[in-house]
Chain A
Amino acid sequence: QQQVKQSPQSLIVQKGGIPIINCAYENTAFDYFPWYQQFPGKGPALLIAIRPDVSEKKEGRFTISFNKSAKQFSLHIMDSQPGDSATYFCAASKHSGYALNFGKGTSLLVTP
């Protein structure tokens, strides 16, 4: 049973666009929501993460928006670049990062 549902499965945007990836969860015990970025041939790497006590977190061009009441969170990439083309995974954990439950991933392509 997938505990974190991620959409869309794939996304194509032009350079400078703002891709948005959405995730939803059911377990209210989750207390940590990271996003991982994976380039082809590499392992995933932490991009940005948020705790449920804040509604938004920005790091550079990447922003997480968190809606606790709706049990949803999303990743926004401002001024997207071709180098952002990668697979993005949202995840959730109820043990501050242990035993992460990953979404199925979104393949993002940013065209020049």
Chain B
Amino acid sequence: EAQVTQNPRYLITVTGKKLTVTCSQNMNHEYMSWYRQDPGLGLRQIYYSMNVEVTDKGDVPEGYKVSRKEKRNFPLILESPSPNQTSLYFCASSTPGQGGSSGANVLTFGAGSRLTVL
């Protein structure tokens, strides 16, 4: 089954304790991205990657790191988590031209990772 897999799905941690949220896709997609979803703020992009070893900041990159050493994996790293990073995180991937009649990219999202930082 074509999918984006995120782990962990739920995590409660404490301020300052480094954590990594993994993301893996099995669709050979070039593009991968991380979003955070907060009530009343919608989905905001954290980082994205156009391909292996190519990453760039989104709208809210502060406090996060990413790496793209392999095409299928795009982990999100919180070096020193703070309570304002408590959120629902989504990883997504896409590849050019899969958008049917619109010809655009269609993001496939993971199921989400709910992170609480105490």
Contacts and interface: CB of A to CB of B under 8 A. Distances in A.
The judgment on whether A and B are partners is yes
Interface residues on B, range: 20 to 34
Contact of A96 (B35, B58, B105): B105
B42 A103 contact: yes
Interface string A53-85: 000000000000000000000000000000000
B106 interface: yes
A46 B94 CA distance: 12
A43 B42 contact: no
Contacts of A42: 111-112
B41 interface: yes
Interface residues of A, number: 27
21 contacts: A32-B102, A32-B104, A34-B102, A41-B112, A42-B111, A42-B112, A43-B90, A43-B112, A44-B43, A44-B107, A45-B108, A46-B107, A96-B104, A97-B106, A97-B107, A98-B50, A99-B58, A100-B43, A100-B107, A104-B40, A105-B42
